[in-house]
């Protein structure tokens, strides 16, 4: 016998959460489902994940399909591409990079329409400070900088600085400037906001005995002094509680930051990570955060540059299936570091590599399936890693929707939404009319990660498309009629979550250590999923490999961990 019928409203509440149901008008009359625009699910299929979890196939590549090389890079996200970039600059050209997805870039990948390119993930980069020399060098290669200021700090190209208005918030029934809900805020709300900002400023100005900041980019530059790292032992919710910061507006604002950068709620985010969001991008107390560099395709523009440097050595659509450290032999150069890697592409072709070193730039959870010794005896630190699932949708519009209040901004956030809102791909063009692409982000963090991941993957494109339109429709009632196409990408393991106790744990430190010729590089190894962290670990692993192969690294680009 069939169970009770699930209404459309109940379905949307399941996807968007109970707060959305209240914000959308409670339990009123069931609305008619709108006709959906065409679109598709993009990204890797579930079949790839099943193949990885099944273990390596029993049949090895044929003898004639093996190649010897210096370095194999597994993973074509920012970390893997940064490692390739560093090796290339050091004069080591005998490497191959394998990426299982059909496109390079990982969570910084992008797409393109007839209107403009657009992001599928990371969509901005804060202007780095001068101490991050390698990232400054990369931006110089991209033509993103215009010299330095009197303090020697890099100056960004005006064309790439996010133009005003940068951000706005839909609160009540209209848009307001900025992300803190100032409209209608009480004196107590404002007092608590000021108190929170004073705490952030205190940490921005804090220095340890060696002159290191508590919060810096990358994390490798941060102080490991006990006063700062003790913040990692409590949640951001507990940190706010201890200071009597209970304003619902302030807590929403801080939680939005945690959801935005970490895909986690206040109670699931380390206080160290929560303060890192606000303090790491400020040069001095009272200063504005570092300006943002923005491309229409987001950080996909940087990916394109890095991939261009790697050329044909970067191969998308190839899945590494098995990494086997070889037993020592009589060979003269680091024999114990040789690794066999089997790979298969989407057409079923197979190839094998015997590499002197491997840079494992894929997420840590994949090491359990790809490294032969880890399949037999997984190290304890792998169990400490937790990932948040995300949904990203790109809405292709023939025109801009109407809105009351503040004008369309680059970043547009809804106060009562479980989503993170959307960014506008054409914002930098200064064209505020006509076709554009809205990129919508939703971090599924209201359930434990595994349950949220199952929910994400069990829901098809059509249901997610309707949920996205329903969510944004509260702020833009005319939006559904303007969308010509709506594509959805589901990131099951989008980013590592810096839950309390993880960022400064021994587990994270151990995860960075090379294992029998395999060197690890991924943003997971910082505990926070940011471009700067992936880039840093790619450089660090590349320089470890250069030294292991007997090459001098007289001027390291990676900051010491």
d(CA 362, CA 53): 15
Global pTM value: 0.94
pLDDT, tens digit, 9 for 90 and up, residues 339-378: 777 777 767 788 889 999 999 999 999 999 999 999 999 9
Residue 338: pLDDT band by 50, 70, 90 thresholds? low
Residue 344: what pLDDT? 73
The kind and range of the H/E element at 80 are helix 78-89
d(CA 80, CA 128): 20
> DSSP states of 339-392 as a string?
EEEEEEETT--EEEEEEEEEEE-S-GGGHHHHBHHHHHS--GGGGG--EEEEEE
Q: Token pair for residue 439?
A: 């990129």
Strands 421-424 and 314-316: unpaired
Which domains, and CATH codes, for the chain? 8-33+387-496 (3.90.660), 47-109+299-378+501-548 (3.50.50.60), 182-290 (1.10.405.10)
What are the angstrom distances between the C-alpha of 437 and each of 205, 297, 405, 411, 416?
40, 10, 21, 13, 23
pLDDT, tens digit, 9 for 90 and up, residues 472-511: 999 999 999 999 999 999 999 999 999 999 999 999 999 9
Residue 427: pLDDT band by 50, 70, 90 thresholds? very high
Q: Is residue 305's pLDDT more than 80?
A: yes
Strands 411-414 and 167-171: parallel
Q: Is residue 332's pLDDT more than 50?
A: no
d(CA 188, CA 192): 6
């Amino acid at each position: 016998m069939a169970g009770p019928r699930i209404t459309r409203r109940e379905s949307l509440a399941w996807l968007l959460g109970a707060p959305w149901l209240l914000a959308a008008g409670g339990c009123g009359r069931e609305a008619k489902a709108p006709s959906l625009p065409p679109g598709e699910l993009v990204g890797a299929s579930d079949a790839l994940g099943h193949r990885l979890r099944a273990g390596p196939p029993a049949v090895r590549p044929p003898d004639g399909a093996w190649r010897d090389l210096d370095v194999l890079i597994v993973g074509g996200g920012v970390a893997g591409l940064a490692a390739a970039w560093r090796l290339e600059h050091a004069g080591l050209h005998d490497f191959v990079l394998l990426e299982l997805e059909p496109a390079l870039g990982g969570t910084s990948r992008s797409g393109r329409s007839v209107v403009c390119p657009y992001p599928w993930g990371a969509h901005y980069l804060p202007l780095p400070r001068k101490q991050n020399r390698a990232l400054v060098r990369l931006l110089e290669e991209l033509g993103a900088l215009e010299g330095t200021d009197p303090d020697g700090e890099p100056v960004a190209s005006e064309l790439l600085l996010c133009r005003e208005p940068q951000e706005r918030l839909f609160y009540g029934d209209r848009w307001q400037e900025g992300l803190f809900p100032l409209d209608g805020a009480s004196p107590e709300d404002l007092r608590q906001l000021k108190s929170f900002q004073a705490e952030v400023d205190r940490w921005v100005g804090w220095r340890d005995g060696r002159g290191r900041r508590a919060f810096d980019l990358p994390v490798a530059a941060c102080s490991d002094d006990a006063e700062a790292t003790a913040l990692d032992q409590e949640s951001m919710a507990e940190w706010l509680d201890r200071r009597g910061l209970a304003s619902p507006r302030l807590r929403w604002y801080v939680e939005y930051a945690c959801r935005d950068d970490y895909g986690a709620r206040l109670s699931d985010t380390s206080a160290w990570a929560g303060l890192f969001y606000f303090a790491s991008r400020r040069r001095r107390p009272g200063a504005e955060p570092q300006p943002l560099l923005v491309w229409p395709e987001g950080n996909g523009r940087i990916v394109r540059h890095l991939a261009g440097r790697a050329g044909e050595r970067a191969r998308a659509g190839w899945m590494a299936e098995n990494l086997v450290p070889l037993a020592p032999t009589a060979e003269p150069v680091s024999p114990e570091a040789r690794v066999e890697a089997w790979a298969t592409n989407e057409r079923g072709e197979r190839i094998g590599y015997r590499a002197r070193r491997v840079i494992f730039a894929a997420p840590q959870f994949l090491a359990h399936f790809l490294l032969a010794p880890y399949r037999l005896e997984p190290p304890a630190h792998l169990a400490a890693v937790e990932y948040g699932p995300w949904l990203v949708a790109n809405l292709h519009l023939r025109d801009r929707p109407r809105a009351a209040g503040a004008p369309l901004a680059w970043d547009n956030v809804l106060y009562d939404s479980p989503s993170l809102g959307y960014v506008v791909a054409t914002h930098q063009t200064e064209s505020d009319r006509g076709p554009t692409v809205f990129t919508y982000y939703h971090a599924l963090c209201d359930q434990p990660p595994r349950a949220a991941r199952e929910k994400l993957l069990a829901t098809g494109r059509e249901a997610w498309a309707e949920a996205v339109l329903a969510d944004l429709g509260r702020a833009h009632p005319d939006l559904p009629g303007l969308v010509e196409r709506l594509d959805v990408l589901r990131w099951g393991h989008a980013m590592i979550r810096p839950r309390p106790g993880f960022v400064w744990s021994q587990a994270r430190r151990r995860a960075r250590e090379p294992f029998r010729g395999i060197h690890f590089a991924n943003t997971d190894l910082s505990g926070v999923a940011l471009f700067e962290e992936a880039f840093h670990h790619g450089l660090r692993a590349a320089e470890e490999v250069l030294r292991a192969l007997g090459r001098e690294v007289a001027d390291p680009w990676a900051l010491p961990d």
